Each structure stands twice: as C-alpha cells, then as structure tokens.
Amino acid sequence: MKQLNIETRTPEEEQEPSFPWAKLTPELVREVAARTSTNDVAVALKLLNKEAAACLNEYQVINLVQPAPNQALPVQPWPAAAFVAHWGRAAPWRALSLRQRQRLLSLAAASGDAASLDAALGQSGCSVNDDVLECAAAAGCLPALQRLLQREGGRLGVRRAAEAAARAGQLGVLQWIVQQHRPAVSDEGFRRVCRSLACAAASARQARIVEWLADEQQLVDLTAADSAEQIAEAAARSGLEGLLERVLPHVRPPRFALLTNVAVGCSLAVLQRHYESLVEGADVGQVGLGDAVSAAAVGPGADWLQKVAFLTERWQQAAVVAGGAAGAAGVAVVIKMCYSAPGPPRPPDVQRLQALRELGCSLDAELFKTAARMGHADIVAWMLEEEQQRRGGGVDVAALAVEAVRGGSMPVVQLLQERGLVVGPQHLRMLISLMTLPAVRASDFAMFLFEAVEGATPEDWAAAFKDAAAVGLSTAALRRLHERHGAAVNLSVINAMIQGGCAVEALDWALEVERAAGGAAQQQVRPENLWIIAGSRGYAAADWLRGSGLLAPPFMLGADWVVQQVVNATGSSTGLCLVALAWWRAQRRREALSQEQEARLWAVAARYAGQQVWAWF
C-alpha cells in the first residue's frame, strides 16, 4: 500500500475551479475515503479542507498495527509524522499502563522510522525488554535493533531477537547477530544455539534461513541425528516438506513421535509415503493413533479429513492384527486438543467438528473448554446445541464459564448467560488471569464483568480491586471498582498498582483518593523500593513514586548503597540492577561517582555484557 501524497491548498486555492477536491460532493468524498486506508483518511484526506473534515469526521483513529494474523507488527506505511506529533509528548503516555507503553515502544522500534523510535524511547518511561527486541528483529529493522541492544537491559534478549528474526525470515538481521557473537573457534554451545535457530526457522517455513545456517555457514549439521530429529519435527509441523524429506533419513528410529507432526502439517501424500517408517517398531494396535488423528483434524490443508480417515483406517487394521474383530470394534476415535500445530492451540472449527461427528468420532470436552477460553463463541454455541440434541443437555456450563473468564471472552460469557449462567463472586476472583491478555481487552472485559457479577460482598470487591491493580487495568476500571462498588484505596493497593504497571494517571487518581481519606500522610514507602521499581517496573513508575510524597527520608538512594547493590547482584538480577542504575544516574546528574566507584561499576557491566554474549549459547 502506498502512502497518499495529497497536497494541501490555501482556502483561496480550494475555491479555484482547477482544484478537483472542491468539485466533489460529500457523497463522492466519502466514497473516495471508503476506498482508501483509514490511516490515510485520518492523516491526509480529511485535512484537505473544511468540507472534507466535516464529512469525514468519523475517521478519528490512526491504526498502528497490522491486521490479523500479523498484529505483532506495525502497520505499513507507518504514520511517522502523526506518531511523533502525538507520542513525542509526555502527556499521552500518562494514560498508558506499562504493558501498553512497552507495546507502543515495540511498534516504534519495528516501524523503521528513527524519529518514532526517538519519541518512544524519550517518553515511554520503560526499559527495553525482550518483546521490544523481538518486534524490531521480526520486522527486519536492524538499525533499531542495534541501537536497542546498546541500551540498559538490551542484551538480555539477544537470543529471543535472533529466534524472532529466524522465524520471520529476516536473514540480514540474523546474519548480523550471528556474526557479532560467533566465536573464533565454533564450540558445541554455539552450534546448539544455531540448531535452535534452524528449528525456529523451520517451524515458520523459513527454508532460506535453514539453508544459510546449514549449507552456507556450516553451523548446523543436518545429517547429525540430534539436529535431524529436532529439525524434522519443526519442518513436519509447519509443512516444510522438502526439508523434512532431506533430514528424515538421518533421524534414528523409533520415529513414532514424528507421526503427530507429520499428520498436522504435511499433505496426505507425505503422510502415506512415510507412515510405515514412522510407526515401525510401535504397537499401533495397543498405543493407538489418537494423537495423530487429533493433529490431522486441525491441519491447515484441504485434505485434513482424508488424513483423519487414513489414520483411522490404519489404526483399525492394527487393532485387528492385535485383537481380531473385537480389537477393531474397540477402536474409539476421540478428537482431543492438539498442541503440535503451529501457532496457539485451537480446536477444529464448526464445519470440521460436524464432519468429525459424521465420521463417528467423539469430541473431548477439552476442545470446548479451549474454545470458550479463546473466545470461539460459534464453537461453544454449536456444542451446546449438539449436546442438547444428542443427550438432552448435561453440558457443564460452569466449567465453560471458568475458561471463558480466564480468557476474557466476553461473547462466550454472554452466550452462557443466555443459557442460564449466573456470573458470581467466583468469577470476580479470577481477574488475575487477565494478566496475559492485551491491556485494552483485559480492561474492557473487566468492566463487563463488574456489571455482570451478582452477589459479591464488599470483601469480594476489595479483593477484586487488588487483583485489578496487579493486572494493570485501566483508570476507568479502577475508578468503577472504587466509586460503584466501594473498593477502598490504600497504600497497599497503590503498591499493587505500581507492581502491576498501572498508568501514571491511575496512580495520581489513587493517591488523591488516599489523601482525601487521610491515610497517605500516615504511611510511607522505603526509598529502597525505588531501586526495585526502576529495575523491574519501569522508569515512569519510579519517577512517579519519587514525586508522590510517599517516600520516607532520605527520599533518594545514596551512591554508596547503589554501587553496593550493583556489585553484589548475581545472575539475572544484575541486568535489573544495571537498568535501575541508569535511572539513578539520570536522577543524580550533579552527583559524580568516584573513580573507584566507577571502576567497580564498569567491571560489573563488562562482566555482565560478556556473560550475556555467551549465555544465549
């Protein structure tokens, strides 16, 4: 998609007959907008003149992410000028939770626009984490990645950045990372990591990456049994059949574990060609092929049903050999959740479920629990109707509701409410599970849940408030808990909000409520907490706490204490201490450390950097 190049005119020029936009009716302007990307309409088309702005007023949102299934990557073309104009200021970031700020930093890092990355780094108030590095690597933004790796905390994510580049097929990025960390004499540790990179590439159908690692650099030996087995699993799972054919002869028997991967990712022809070698030595009549059949049922190919039928037939034949006609009659095909398919585990869609039923397969209850958790209301609705017809009911709606709440699946909960579900305090107590969801979705679902709950006590709402704070829910969600449901705000809750990464504006609100109740002046936070927060929860939270008036004297950490913390740190805590140190330095710009202190800190940083270079091997 190309960026619109629309030249704006003065009001006088807009009235000239030669200016074509002045001749368009509002209906035609809206028709042009409907055929244009919404971002281009918002940042360019509606700014042409007053008339365009009036009839295109509904275009208020500039989208920064690509549509499914590439939501992790920024939209292209990237609205660089609009991003810098808005997010280059401190004010908009105050409304964002830590997860949202990290997400926005990730998008800026992957946008390919240096000015956007400057704006995000300057205002986000969070350190560079693995997600930021992964996003930049997956988008192929090498300059941004190189810059991020030099920042505090950056080196912690080198390996994940390399794997993200391998999965995305970003050969240039991967080449740079490998060459930067390649030892003079290749050792087993280095080769082990390269093998994992090849597996990551194979799992995403990136054959070119595997060729570079194995053929051009000789960093992965595809004929070695260990490498061949791991790469065969990844290649089979993703349907990279050419690579599978290349490495399969080098996989030592037994190969039965590979069957499930071949069933999910490869074609019927490949499955049939290698079936006998894969089951060689396995007592199929006894162990069955249930996992392979379940894998075939969620495979991406159009021949999935033929694979199910083929495997079922082979299973029945093996059962006859093992136990005669009685053995074949005892074969019960139960379709279960498959965790071998690429991407997040998901059940077969409704059309496949119907076909599997017609084939005589039973459906495991876990399929529908997963569907409820993932928000597939159509699958849950089909299952409820199917069970009603087959058994006259008997569906465990309560169990489905638990999974739906865990997944923040509002449509499924609403569907179950129509079937008699009462949302109660037990569901309110599951708020903490929303921590893994995108921030906006978690807050929206929590707001829905607050209105749907029946029978909650003040104690339930108080517990829900602390959970909501720990999840980092929005200011609106926290205010509703307090104002409508009476949840108290105190120092313990404020601390949970900091730890949960709540927005700065939410912390301001909570502190105001706490002070109005007369409690803040009676309780104080130890300055040492600043160190922990700066290292793990972001600079914005540490800055807020320092200016909140909640700190006990001396209000700021001394140089001797800080140096000692860094020197005494071990393992991964060293990285967090170095992140906190960078924040501390920014706060104490006028206080120079002694040469001896600087030398001690430099020794820790150098040692840690070296450890991280080798730790990912």
Distances (CA, A) of 172 to 169, 176, 313, 407, 484: 9, 6, 47, 37, 54
Task: Please say if the pLDDT value at position 503 is more than 60.
Answer: yes
| Residue 509, number of CB atoms within 10 A of its CB | 18
Mean pLDDT, the chain, as a whole number? 88
Q: How far is the C-alpha of 613 from the C-alpha of 358, rounded, in Å?
A: 55
Q: How far is the C-alpha of 3 from the C-alpha of 387, rounded, in Å?
A: 52
Q: Residue 36: what are its φ and ψ, rounded to 5°?
A: -120, 155
Closest CA to 133 of 87, 88, 102: 102
The confidence band for 388, taking pLDDT boundaries of 50, 70 and 90, is confident
Q: Which two tokens stand for residue 322?
A: 């093992």
Q: How do residues 312-346 score in pLDDT, each as one tens digit?
A: 999 999 988 876 655 555 578 899 999 887 778 88
The confidence band for 227, taking pLDDT boundaries of 50, 70 and 90, is very high
Q: Which two tokens stand for residue 570?
A: 């071990």
Strand partners for 551: 525
Q: Residue 382: what are its φ and ψ, rounded to 5°?
A: -65, -45
| Residue 612, number of CB atoms within 10 A of its CB | 20
| Residue 553, number of CB atoms within 10 A of its CB | 7
Q: How do residues 75-85 score in pLDDT, each as one tens digit?
A: 989 999 999 99
The confidence band for 63, taking pLDDT boundaries of 50, 70 and 90, is confident
pLDDT at 155: 67
The confidence band for 190, taking pLDDT boundaries of 50, 70 and 90, is confident
Task: Please say if the pLDDT value at position 6 is more than 80.
Answer: no
Question: Which of 159-173, 272-286, 332-346, 458-472 has the weakest average pLDDT?
Answer: 332-346
Q: Rounded mean pLDDT of 284-301?
A: 92
Q: What does DSSP assign to residue 59?
A: -
pLDDT at 19: 58
Distances (CA, A) of 270 to 96, 129, 237: 49, 41, 12
> Cis peptide before 77, with omega less than 30 degrees from 0?
yes
pLDDT at 394: 63
Q: Provide Rg for the chain, Cα atoms.
A: 29
pLDDT at 589: 67
Task: Please say if the pLDDT value at position 105 is more than 90.
Answer: yes
Higher per-residue pLDDT: 89 or 607:
89
Task: Please say if the pLDDT value at position 12 is more than 70.
Answer: no
Distances (CA, A) of 399 to 337, 345, 404, 406, 532: 17, 19, 9, 11, 39
The confidence band for 443, taking pLDDT boundaries of 50, 70 and 90, is very high
pLDDT at 154: 66
Higher per-residue pLDDT: 23 or 241:
241
Q: How do residues 507-518 score in pLDDT, each as one tens digit?
A: 999 999 998 887
pLDDT at 614: 43
pLDDT at 10: 56
Q: Rounded mean pLDDT of 477-494?
A: 92
pLDDT at 119: 97
Q: Rounded mean pLDDT of 151-161?
A: 77
Task: Please say if the pLDDT value at position 22 is more than 90.
Answer: no
pLDDT at 2: 43
Task: Please say if the pLDDT value at position 224 is more than 90.
Answer: yes
Task: Please say if the pLDDT value at position 8 is more than 60.
Answer: no
Q: Rounded mean pLDDT of 227-245?
A: 97
Task: Please say if the pLDDT value at position 526 is more than 60.
Answer: yes
pLDDT at 512: 94
AA letter at 513: V
pLDDT at 99: 92
Q: How far is the C-alpha of 36 from the C-alpha of 503, rounded, in Å?
A: 34
pLDDT at 329: 58
∠ at Cα 268 (263, 270), nearest 5°?
80
Question: Which of 8-22, 209-223, 225-239, 528-542 has the weakest average pLDDT?
Answer: 8-22
